[in-house]
A and B are shown apart, each in its own frame.
Chain A
Amino acid sequence: MSETSHGAGTGPTQRNAEIGVALLTLLFGLIVVYGSYIVGFGWGADGPQAGFFPFYVGIAICGCSLINLAQGLRENPADLFAEWSQLRQVLKVLVPTTIYCLMVEPLGIYLPSILLIAVFMKWLGKYSWPLTAAIAIGVPAAFYFVFEKWFLIPLPKGPVEALLGL
């Protein structure tokens, strides 16, 4: 590891991440068990009830989550899950992508796509405006022709497309 130049790199530990994931899967398992319990997991008049199979699946998730939890507790607390600087990189992608996915519902796919590509190129790539504009508009336009004109698959559209009469 020659990465010591960034001040030895700090961040969440692998141990905490393992424990966190094990707790989450345990919670998920409990939800599955509960959900199966509601619809009935026993033997009905016409065979196994709807919750029969998922009930045991949920039990298996809970059991193995506990094993993973125990394993996680034994992890070396010095190992890092990722450095903060690395997580910041991940968030730089994740946050715009989240906003993008939420914008598809009200605005359709084209306008958010243009914005997403532009934000990436300007903010992370530091490209000039003409190049950014060309790719940000060119790529969604290409998708428009491939999907809507060639394969006749309509993609979600919003008020802006309606205004343009597309």
Chain B
Amino acid sequence: MFDNFVNLWHGFAVAGDPFNILLMVVGILLGVIIGVLPGLGGANGVAILLPLTFSMSPTSAIILLSCIYWGALFGGAITSVLFNIPGEPWSVATTFDGHPMARQGKAGEALTAAFTSSFVGAFVAILMITLVAPLVAAFALRFGPAEKFAVYFLAFCSFVGMSKEPPAKTIVSMMIGFALAAVGLDMVTGQLRLTFGSEELLNGFDFLIAVIGLFGIGEILLTMEEGLEFRGKSAKIDAKVVLRTWASLPRYWATSIRSCIIGCWMGITPAGATPASFMAYGIAKRVSKNGKNFGNGEIEGVVAPETAAHAAGTSALLPMLALGVPGSPTAAVLLGGLLIWGLQPGPMLFVEQKDFVWGLIASMYLGNVVGLIVVLTTVPLFAAILRIPFSIIAPVILVICAIGAYTVNNNVFDVVMMLVFGVLGYVLKKTNYPLAPLVLAIVLGDSAEEAFRQSLLSSGGSIGIFWSNPLVSTIMGLGLVAALYPMISNLLSRLRSPQPA
């Protein structure tokens, strides 16, 4: 334990380097811009900027990229409160009470509450990462291929169980991801598969292209359909508003703690920030004594979802670092980045790349402090960006996406691929197929398959290897429970109250 604090202290020395602090500010600013613009979000924003970091040291690069992620998390709140347009899915719940507050002229209070509770949520999650990640990593060092596959199994099962979309749709979306990941050269046998003679498919599908297309182009098409009216409230944040709001926030400590716990839990199991924010909002509404007033501009209704969303978004990095299983699409993109820089995420990272891991964790502390200061001081600027008409911003975003897709592999074909993924993303989104499992499956497909095949090799082809010792059976069992959870809870509630058919 004491070791870790020494390491963390050392990490602060790395992250506190003036150049890295500058990167944090740049990252947060870029992230907030990405968060407020339609069509650019945490996942595809990081994916587009990833190629620009190839020339940096991995530590500086991950500081920049993770700060973009924090910025995007902060940015989602701005559009929700001022424009009633959630810039990111996880800030949908923030619109319920945030926008009514803005209509009552309390936009400053709503934003201060949102940013501050985001900060609190993230901070708690980082504390948890600091304390828990090394333990998880140390524990995971003992994992063999069967346990590794079981962890992937658990991750994907929680998607099936937690998703509000029908399970069959979640599975289809996930399996499409696995199939796309399998296209190209098979690393074990050296055979080509699923390419059907096409040369472009030799290297398979790059998940960065998929992310840029699915979330970027798809989102623009969706926005276009909704019509393009941004009629926003203006916000003025000055020190007086901030201090007054801060003074009122400690009253909601119980809501904060509850949301932090929900967020951390939902972030580690890859359910993600969006369901976490809804769940936290729903529970706060039920428990709070102001519950009836929720939806009419209750500050507690901003605190609850924002805290949970950030706690979830941040703790999604724990399984990515310690196990190599990302908890959210953006964490998946960051994991892809680690692989490109030649770092293998997972338990060995804590042993072999101490500087990198603790530099990153220290940068999370600093990045969130920097982020809070930056967003509180620059809100009017970002509100102004939102007033740029869509017919100007949309083509610029399209160009950015195209450049991003090209720079991943310096391949022009990828730009066309991105468009295909964009149309696919639009259609899947409209028919309620979740996109996050698809992306995670593309990223993890090769590792999951490798773990699966290695385990089967050692057992001579018997599926029984996944139930061969208590550890692996427990993880697999948890996975099954997670996947079947909706069915179990459905059954229980039906037993309790027989409904007329």
A: residues with CB less than 8 A from B are: 14, 17-18, 21, 25, 28-29, 31-32, 35-36, 38-39, 43-44, 46-54, 57-58, 60-61, 64-65, 67-68, 71, 81-82, 86-87, 89-90, 92-94, 97-98, 100-102, 104-105, 109, 113, 116-117, 119-121, 124-125, 127, 135, 139-140, 143, 147, 151-156
Residues of A contacting B144 in the complex (Cβ-Cβ under 8 angstroms): none
Complex: A18 Cα to B225 Cα, angstroms? 18
Across-interface contacts of B186 in A (CB, < 8 A): 39, 50
Q: Are B225 and A68 within 8 A (Cβ)?
A: no
- Give chain B interface residues in 423-457, CB to chain A under 8 Å: 423, 426-428, 430-431, 433, 449, 452-453, 456-457
Determine whether B65 belongs to the interface, using a CB cutoff of 8 Å to chain A: no
B179 contacts A97, CB within 8 Å?
Answer: no
B435 to chain A, nearest CB (A): 13
Report chain B residues within 8 Å CB of A119: 395
Q: For residue B221, which residues in chain A have a CB less than 8 angstroms away from its CB?
A: 90, 93-94
Is B127 an interface position by the 8 A CB rule? no
14 A–B contacts, CB within 8 A, in A order: A32-B194, A48-B453, A58-B175, A64-B172, A67-B168, A71-B168, A81-B430, A89-B225, A90-B224, A90-B426, A113-B402, A117-B395, A117-B399, A156-B406
Residue of A nearest to B391 (CB): A125
| Residue contact B426 to A25, C-beta cutoff 8 Å | no
B380: A residues at CB distance < 8 A: none
Contacting residues, chain B, for A109 (C-beta < 8 A): 399, 402-403, 406
A104 engages B402 (CB within 8 Å): yes
Q: Are A35 and B398 in contact (CB under 8 A)?
A: no
B433 contact set on A, CB distance < 8 A? 21
Question: Given the known A-B contacts A47-B188, A89-B225, are A57 and B179 also in contact in the complex, defined by CB atoms under 8 Å?
Answer: yes
B169 close to chain A: CB less than 8 A: yes
**A52 with B178, Cβ < 8 A, contacts A68-B168, A121-B392, A143-B399 known:** no
> Whole-angstrom distance between the alpha carbons of A127 and B390 in the complex?
12
Is B105 among interface residues, defined by CB-CB distance under 8 A? no
B217 contacts which chain A residues (CB < 8 A)? 97
> A residues within 8 A CB of B449?
53
**Beta-carbon contacts under 8 Å, B402-436 to A:** 402-403, 406-407, 410, 412-413, 415-416, 418-419, 422-423, 426-428, 430-431, 433
Nearest Cβ distance between residue B416 and chain A, in whole angstroms?
Answer: 5
Distance to closest chain A CB from B479 (angstroms): 15
A101 close to B416 (CB less than 8 A): yes
The CB with the most chain A CB atoms within 10 A, among B227, B392, B410, B418, is that of: B392
B104 beta carbon closer than 8 Å to chain A:
no
Flag if B175 contacts A57 (CB, 8 Å).
yes
Interface secondary structure of B, over-half rule: helix
Which residues in B have their C-beta under 8 angstroms from that of A18? 431
The interface residues of chain B lying within 8 Å CB-to-CB of A153 are 51-52, 407
**Residues of B close to A29: CB separation below 8 A:** 175, 179
The 10 lowest CB-CB distance pairs between A and B, nearest first, are A125-B391, A35-B194, A67-B168, A120-B395, A50-B186, A50-B191, A64-B168, A54-B182, A117-B395, A124-B391
CB nearest neighbor in B for A132: B392
Chain A residue contacts of B430, Cβ below 8 A = 17, 81-82
**Quick check: A104 and B191 within 8 Å, CB to CB?**
no
Residues of B within 8 A of A47 (CB): 188, 453, 456-457
Determine if B464 is an interface residue (Cβ-Cβ < 8 Å): no
Q: Which of A53, A64, A82 has the most C-beta atoms of chain B within 10 angstroms of its own C-beta?
A: A53
| Residue B19, interface by CB 8 Å | no
Question: B42-71 vs A: 1/0 string, CB under 8 Å?
Answer: 000000000110010000000000000000
Residues in B whose Cβ lies below 8 Å from that of A121: 391-392, 395
Please, how many angstroms separate the alpha-carbon atoms of A119 and B399 in the complex?
A: 13
For residue A161, give the distance in angstroms from its CB to the closest CB of chain B: 14
B403 near A147 (CB under 8 angstroms)? yes
The distance in angstroms between the C-alpha atoms of A108 and B428, with both chains bound, is 31
| Nearest CB in chain B to that of A124: its residue | B391
- Apart from A21-B433, A39-B194: 10 A-B pairs, beta carbons within 8 A: A17-B431, A47-B188, A47-B453, A50-B188, A57-B182, A60-B175, A67-B168, A89-B225, A97-B217, A117-B396
Query: Which residues of B are found within 8 Å of A81, using beta-carbon distances?
Result: 430-431
